[in-house]
Each structure stands twice: as structure tokens, then as C-alpha cells.
């Protein structure tokens, strides 16, 4: 509440520039939708809804605990306003009031310093304290909050301290409370694409409505469990479309991509113009493919239909994905900004940064995935993606922690096993990495990247024959796996099969003629076999493709020297020395350059 009369009103301290005289009344502005008589003990407003505006409602209001309503309850609402002022978003969001209340009861808002890293730690601590699930850790009233804000402005620590996170046991009770709030008349706003069925008197509740209530009471915490609640009712050919839509969304949120795709396909078979289902199926198929799942349809048509026909957040997500796939990164960023603040939006944005590469991009991706983890149900593929991003940002130990959590949530998850193996490889734990890659292959026998990675660590472990078998298996499952083909060539060379190695590099060049490294590697093999003209051809092509390639420049010089073409060799050595100053081969190259120049002088002297 804030004073109305007078100029110069300052937020939080109640000063109006002048004090009312004796016997005068200070006017206040209040939201009469929230007004109630504490003496009556009623938990309802005149409209029959639970007390409070959901986005600013405290947990004790959401639980209907009238005796717990104190000035600390108003501090919670002020905390929501502070959070929104700093981040430009509500701390708790949902598609309907029940979903918002459930978030208030069981979820912590995304950390301020993830959304706004420049926020001072003291301010972040204070805002977090105002949003404590229980009143005790919050500032006791508005005056105490004002005093702590003044401390923060002076650079001091606030007296308030960050509260402990709600434990899972309390979260389940809170979800039950959210369901109870729904039972006393909380209804969704108009315009929602898949409206909640409004509850009637107990005798009139349909089986579908009861089932949806039961599923929605657990969906925020465990979408896979909610899907299992709905699945039996969806198996009939005449399943309620609302139940089927809820089931599809739950499977998508749980990362069960094939199940989600099948449920959306059933909805679209009944109504081909259902844009929301096109959006859901497109996102499920795209995310599933990112997750390494095979057999999912191409999402392009569904995403395009959603991008053109769904003006809401899902349509914006679809536009962002399509722009990214087309390589239009600024357009993708802009579309995602319009996609609301759902955790799926942050997931797509993080995946975009993750797959763009670069250490800085990986760090940003990891931060955004942290935000997803704070807001979404525990999802294995989100932990898997954050683990992969952390690994690429060189936080290998953190990556192992995330990927272990992904495997706890989804045992024998092949992509998480593969990613954890890669992180363990980066930590030098080659045997443990080999075990993870082997487990990934057992879980998904056609996972080419796991065979490739196991080949890498087996070669590090001094097992080249086993590595050769793994590279061959990777190519059997994915014939266009460039690195597997080149690594197999390298192992063949090490095992003395030079002809086989040349064959592999030749195939790589046929498939990817712009690959300068393949040209250099084949040139080295040809140089060893004294096929000098062919080696010179390979090195020259590599330098045409990448003029600053030091390996190609050095190889070309060596090939010309073996052909006794002293002038061409001297030119190539000079080029190498310009390209690679400080290279370990520099001293040897200077010695051979001097030798070539001496030979040139001798030949000129002989001609005279």
C-alpha cells in the first residue's frame, strides 16, 4: 500500500512531505479485491476466489493460512515487485492461476544474479529473503525492508539472510495445497489455448476433469508422473482431446520425445488445423533430435506452421528455431525475446548458444540452462545439455556432476553416458570414460559417436586394434562421420597398413574436398612412400585451401628437397619460416634451407 495524497512520495518510507494534523485521516489506496475482515476468519473474497492476486500472493495466502497473515505477507508482495523491477519479469509464472500458485508454493524464482549478473550480492540476498517460503526469514515488515534497502545502497550487508530451499517433502504438501486452492474456485484467464475445465459441484465433476486435476497437481514437479496418470485414459480411440493434449505436453516436458510426438499426431489426425499441436510436435521432434534421438519426423513443416499461425510463445519459439537453422542468428535472438519467459524459451536459447561453440558461448549456455533447471521440473536432458556445455567451457568436474544427475534421473541415458565419458576423458580418467562409452553403446547400439569416442580413449590406452574396430563400427552406423574416417586412417598407418590409410584419406577427400588436413595427411603418407609428385600435389592443394597451413608448407619443402629441386625446396622452406616462427621444426628448416642454397650455388658454379 502507498499513500495517495501529497507530492514527493518516496517508495517504502511513507513520507509525504507533510504530516496530517491532529484528527485528520491519511488516505490509502488498496485493492478491494483483496480486502477482508481478519475477524471473520474467512479465507474467501466476495467473488469466491482464494485471497490474493496469484502473481503477488504469498505462500501462506496460497495455503489459506489466515492466522499467518502478518506484515511479512506484504513484504513478500513487495519482494515480488522488487524482483520484477530488477528483472522485468515476474518471479512466478504459469498458464493459469492454479499453476502460478503451485509455483509460489514449491518453486524458487530464478536467481537474480543469473538473470542480471551485475546485481550486487547484498541486493540479491535481500530479494531472496523477501521471497522466503515461510514468513520468519523475511524482513518483519516494510520498515525493516526499508532499512535493509538503505544498507544495500550504502554497500553494507542486509540483516536478512537467504532462506533455505523448500525440501521435496514440503513441496508435495504444497502442491496438494495448490489443488485445494483450485477446488475453491480459482479459474484460468480467458484466451488460453487449452483451458482448464472449471470445477462444478462435487457431484458434477466429470472423470476427465478429475483426472486432469490430479495430473496438474503433480505436473510442475514431475511431468513424467503426470503423463502416467493420464496415459490409461488416453488409450481409448475416443479419448478426451483435453486429456490427450495434456498428455502430449507432459511427455514433451519430461523429454519422452517419441511418446509426445505420437500424442500430438493423434490430436492432429482429428484436427489437422490444430496449430498448438503442430507447435508442440515440432518442438518435441526438434528437441528430441538435439537430444540424439533417432526415428523422429523432420520438424520443419510443423515449426513453419506454428511460426506462421501461432501468435503466442510457442509460435515465437518455432520462429526462433527456424531462424537459427537457417543461420539467421540475430533474427533467432529477436524471435526468442518475444517467446515469453517460459523455461522452454530459455532452453532453446541456451541450446542455440551451446551449439554455436566457443568458451564464452558455453559459459552463457550453462548459465541459461541453470535458469531452466531452477524453473523446470527435474529433466535429465537439461542436466545433460548443461553438463555438455560445462565440459566445452572446460569445467570438466562440474560436467561430470551434471551428467551423473542426468543419469540418476534417467538411468542408462545413452547421450548422458556418452557426454560423461567425454568429460572423464578430459579429466584423464580413460578407463572410466571407456566404461561410460561402452554403457552408451549397450543402451543404444547404433550410437556412432559413442563408438568413435571409445575408439579415441582405447587408442590413448594403447589398444589400437580395438580402436580400429570402434572407428569401423562408427562408420558402419554413420558413413559420413568425417573424424571417424580420418582417425581410422591414422590408426591404420600406426599399425603399418599404409595402403589402407591412403584409401581412407582418399575417401575423406572425395567426400569433403575442402578438408586441407586430409590432403596434408595423405601427402605425408605419399612422402613416406616416396610418391613425390603426388605428395607435392596434396601439399599444394592444402595450401590453396588454407594458405597459412604450416604442416602443408613444411611437407611441400620436404617433398621438393627429396626430388632435389633445390630452388623450389628453398622457396618452400622460406614460406614455412614466415608462416610458423617459433615452430619446433624451425632450426631444422633453417639448416635444410642453408643446405638447399648451398646446392643451388654449387649447381650454378658447375654450369659456369
Q: What are 198-214's pLDDT values in tens digits?
A: 444 544 567 888 888 88
When pLDDT is cut at 50, 70 and 90, the band that residue 365 belongs to is confident
| Residue 57 in grid coordinates | 500472493
Share of the chain above pLDDT 70, in %: 82
Cα–Cα separations (whole angstroms), residue 251 to 29, 43, 246, 261? 46, 36, 9, 9
Q: Strand pairing partners for 50?
A: 44
Distance CA 153, CA 57 (A): 27
Distance CA 310, CA 316 (A): 8
Using the predicted structure, report yes or no on whether residue 276 has a pLDDT greater than 50.
Answer: yes
Q: What pLDDT digit, counting tens, does each position of 458-484 carry? A: 999 999 999 999 999 999 999 999 999
Using the predicted structure, report yes or no on whether residue 297 has a pLDDT greater than 50.
Answer: yes
Q: What pLDDT digit, counting tens, does each position of 144-193 carry? A: 999 999 888 888 888 887 665 443 444 444 444 445 444 444 433 333 33
When pLDDT is cut at 50, 70 and 90, the band that residue 15 belongs to is very low
Three-state secondary structure along 88-106? Answer: CCCCCCCCCHHHHHHHHHH
φ/ψ region of 14 (left if φ > 0, alpha if ψ in -120 to 50, else beta) reads left
Q: Which of 246, 275, 285, 248 is nearest to 264 (CA)?
A: 248
Give domain status of residue 596, yes or no. yes
Using the predicted structure, report yes or no on whether residue 296 has a pLDDT greater than 50.
Answer: yes
Q: According to the per-residue pLDDT averaged within each range, which of 192-196, 273-277, 303-307, 537-541 is highest?
A: 537-541
Last residue of a domain, one of 186, 217, 251: 186
Q: What pLDDT digit, counting tens, does each position of 119-153 carry? A: 887 888 899 899 988 888 899 998 999 999 988 88
Mean pLDDT (whole number) for 492-521: 95
Give domain status of residue 339, yes or no. no
When pLDDT is cut at 50, 70 and 90, the band that residue 117 belongs to is low
Give domain status of residue 581, yes or no. yes
What's the mean pLDDT when you consider all of the chain?
82
The domain that contains 576 carries what CATH number?
A: 1.25.40.10
Q: Which of 18, 21, 52 is nearest to 35 (CA)?
A: 52
Give domain status of residue 431, yes or no. no
Last residue of a domain, one of 158, 186, 214: 186
Give domain status of residue 545, yes or no. yes
The domain that contains 83 carries what CATH number?
A: 1.10.510.10
Give residue 173's pLDDT. 45
Distance CA 107, CA 439 (A): 34
pTM above 0.75, yes or no: no
The CA dihedral of 382, 97, 64, 215, to the nearest 10 degrees, is -60
Share of the chain above pLDDT 90, in %: 45
| Residue 505 in grid coordinates | 584419406
Is the dihedral angle over the CA atoms 296, 302, 303, 304 positive or is it negative? positive
Mean pLDDT (whole number) for 89-114: 74
Last residue of a domain, one of 186, 204, 222: 186
Question: 578 is in which domain, residue-wise?
Answer: 538-608
User: Which of the residue ranges 38-52, 75-89, 253-267, 397-411 would you say has the lowest mean pLDDT?
Assistant: 38-52
Using the predicted structure, report yes or no on whether residue 21 has a pLDDT greater than 80.
Answer: no
Give residue 567's pLDDT. 94
Give residue 227's pLDDT. 93
* Total number of domains in the chain: 2
Give residue 154's pLDDT. 85
Give domain status of residue 134, yes or no. yes
Give domain status of residue 343, yes or no. no
φ/ψ region of 5 (left if φ > 0, alpha if ψ in -120 to 50, else beta) reads beta
Give domain status of residue 318, yes or no. no
When pLDDT is cut at 50, 70 and 90, the band that residue 357 belongs to is low
Distance CA 440, CA 388 (A): 15
Distance CA 524, CA 532 (A): 10
Amino acid at each position: 500500500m502507498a499513500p495517495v495524497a501529497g507530492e514527493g512520495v518516496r517508495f517504502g518510507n511513507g513520507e509525504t512531505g507533510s504530516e496530517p494534523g491532529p484528527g485528520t485521516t491519511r488516505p490509502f489506496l488498496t485493492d478491494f479485491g483483496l480486502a477482508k475482515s481478519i475477524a471473520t476468519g474467512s479465507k474467501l473474497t466476495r467473488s469466491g476466489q482464494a485471497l490474493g492476486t496469484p502473481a503477488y500472493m504469498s505462500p501462506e495466502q496460497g495455503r489459506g493460512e489466515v492466522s499467518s497473515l502478518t506484515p511479512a505477507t506484504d513484504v513478500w508482495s513487495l519482494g515480488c515487485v522488487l524482483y520484477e523491477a530488477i528483472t522485468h519479469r515476474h518471479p512466478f509464472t504459469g498458464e493459469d492461476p492454479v499453476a502460478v500458485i503451485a509455483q509460489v508454493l514449491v518453486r524458487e524464482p530464478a536467481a537474480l544474479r543469473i538473470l542480471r549478473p551485475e546485481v550486487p550480492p547484498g541486493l540479491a540476498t535481500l530479494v531472496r529473503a523477501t521471497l522466503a517460503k515461510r514468513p520468519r526469514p523475511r524482513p518483519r515488515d516494510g520498515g525493516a525492508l526499508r532499512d535493509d534497502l538503505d544498507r544495500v545502497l550504502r554497500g553494507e550487508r542486509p540483516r536478512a539472510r537467504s532462506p533455505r530451499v523448500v525440501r521435496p517433502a514440503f513441496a508435495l504438501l504444497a502442491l496438494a495445497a495448490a489443488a485445494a486452492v483450485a477446488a475453491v474456485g480459482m479459474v484460468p484467464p480467458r484466451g488460453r489455448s487449452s483451458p482448464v475445465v472449471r470445477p462444478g459441484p462435487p457431484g458434477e465433476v466429470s472423470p476427465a476433469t478429475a483426472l486432469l486435476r490430479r495430473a496438474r497437481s503433480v505436473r510442475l514437479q514431475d511431468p513424467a508422473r503426470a503423463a502416467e496418470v493420464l496415459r490409461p485414459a488416453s488409450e481409448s480411440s475416443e479419448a478426451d482431446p483435453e486429456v490427450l493434449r495434456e498428455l502430449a505436453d507432459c511427455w514433451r516436458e519430461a523429454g519422452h520425445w517419441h511418446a509426445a510426438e505420437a500424442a500430438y499426431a493423434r490430436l492432429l489426425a482429428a484436427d489437422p488445423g490444430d496449430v498448438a499441436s503442430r507447435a508442440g510436435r515440432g518442438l518435441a521432434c526438434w528437441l528430441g533430435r538435439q537430444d540424439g534421438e533417432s526415428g523422429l519426423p523432420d520438424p520443419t513443416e510443423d515449426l513453419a506452421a506454428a511460426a506462421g499461425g501461432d501468435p503466442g510463445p510457442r509460435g515465437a519459439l518455432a520462429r526462433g528455431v527456424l531462424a537459427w537453422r537457417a543461420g539467421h542468428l540475430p533474427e533467432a535472438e529477436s524471435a526468442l525475446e518475444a517467446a515469453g519467459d517460459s523455461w522452454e524459451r530459455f532452453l532453446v536459447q541456451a541450446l542455440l548458444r551451446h551449439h554455436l561453440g566457443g568458451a564464452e558461448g558455453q559459459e552463457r549456455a550453462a548459465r541459461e540452462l541453470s535458469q531452466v533447471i531452477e524453473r523446470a521440473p527435474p529433466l535429465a536432458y537439461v542436466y545433460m545439455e548443461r553438463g555438455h556445455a560445462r565440459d566445452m567451457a572446460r569445467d570438466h568436474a562440474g560436467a561430470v556432476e551434471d551428467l551423473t544427475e542426468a543419469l540418476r534421473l534417467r538411468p542408462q541415458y545413452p547421450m548422458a553416458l556418452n557426454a560423461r565419458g567425454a568429460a572423464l576423458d578430459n579429466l584423464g580418467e580413460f578407463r572410466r570414460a571407456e566404461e561410460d562409452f561402452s554403457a552408451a553403446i549397450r543402451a543404444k547400439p547404433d550410437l556412432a559417436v559413442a563408438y568413435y569416442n571409445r575408439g579415441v580413449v582405447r587408442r590413448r590406452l594403447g589398444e589400437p586394434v580395438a580402436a580400429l574396430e570402434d572407428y569401423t563400427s562408427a562408420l558402419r552406423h554413420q558413413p559420413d562421420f568425417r573424424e571417424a574416417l580420418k582417425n581410422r586412417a591414422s590408426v591404420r598407418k600406426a599399425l603399418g597398413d599404409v595402403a589402407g590409410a591412403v584409401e581412407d584419406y582418399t575417401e575423406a577427400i572425395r567426400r569433403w574436398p575442402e578438408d586441407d588436413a586430409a590432403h596434408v595427411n595423405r601427402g605425408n603418407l605419399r612422402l613416406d612412400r616416396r610418391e613425390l609428385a603426388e605428395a607435392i600435389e596434396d601439399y599444394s592443394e592444402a595450401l590453396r585451401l588454407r594458405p597459412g597451413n604450416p604442416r602443408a608448407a613444411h611437407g611441400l619443402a620436404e617433398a621438393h628437397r627429396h626430388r632435389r629441386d633445390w630452388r623450389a625446396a628453398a622457396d618452400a622452406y622460406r614460406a614455412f619460416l614466415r608462416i610458423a616462427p617459433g615452430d619446433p621444426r624451425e632450426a631444422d628448416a633453417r639448416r635444410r634451407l642453408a643446405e638447399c642454397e648451398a646446392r643451388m650455388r654449387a649447381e650454378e658454379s658447375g654450369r659456369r
